[in-house]
Amino acid sequence: MDKIVQYFADNYGQPFEIGINHEIVDLINNLNRIELIELRQRLFNEARRFENKKDSSSALFWLHNCFDLIEKNMFRLHQVIFSPGNEILESISDLLKQAKKTLDICVFTITDERLATEIWNCHQRGVSVRIITDDDKMFDRGSMIKDLKDAGIPVKIDHSRYHMHHKFGIIDSRIVFTGSFNWTYTASSHNQENLLITSNFEIVKQYSDQYEILWREMFWI
């Protein structure tokens, strides 16, 4: 974030019409919503500093340009996918490959080895992975839950005669994916399923809050 603030400050009074540095674009694109709020506040503070040294209209114009460029280059993702077919599987796999910090999974069952491998890969490259799943389904034939737990991934389950039937995941606290899709071979190959992916902050936050509630309520295996 320091690089972004410094870049904008260094270009005070310069036109941004030709675009901004690609490295800065990538840095903006990787910020989550909380970091974006902090960035805007820091730029506002910079504008006040410029206002005291120069003139208020120039500082305000600079701040407006900064906010406009952030808006144009900030991360957004909204997508809906349907199956049968491999598109949902491939989309989830691609999302898991993009995880950098955290991966919270809350799914009814995991029997598709391809997705289990991507979860394991996340864990291997240092992503903090957590899994919540159903206590009954983890004992199904082909379940990968025990393997993922043995690999060192924290796993929690419900203790109920009913099912933990959620099917969602949260990546880096900025992407949520959810829908009817079970993480099974049948779901990819034969079932009519759906998946929604969004980076909408309010939606991601609601899912994140619910995940934390479930994590506190569920039981270790």
* pLDDT reported for residue 17: 58
Q: Which of 194, 209, 220, 210 is nearest to 79 (CA)?
A: 194
Q: Evaluate the omega torsion of the peptide bond into residue 84 and state whether it is cis, within 30 degrees of 0.
A: yes
The CATH superfamily of 78-220 is: Endonuclease Chain A (3.30.870.10)
Q: From CA 44, how far away is CA 46, in angstroms rounded?
A: 5
From 35-39, 94-98, 108-112, the region with the lowest mean pLDDT: 35-39
Backbone angles phi and psi of 9, in degrees to 5: -65, -40
**What confidence tens digit (pLDDT) does each residue in 60-106 have?**
999 999 999 999 889 999 999 999 989 999 999 999 999 999 999 99
Confidence of residue 20 (pLDDT cuts 50, 70, 90): confident
* pLDDT reported for residue 189: 87
Domain spans of the chain, in order of start: 2-73, 78-220
Task: Say how far residue 154 (Cα) sits from the centre of its chain.
Answer: 19
Report the catalytic residues: 165, 167, 172
Report the share of the chain in percent with pLDDT over 90: 81
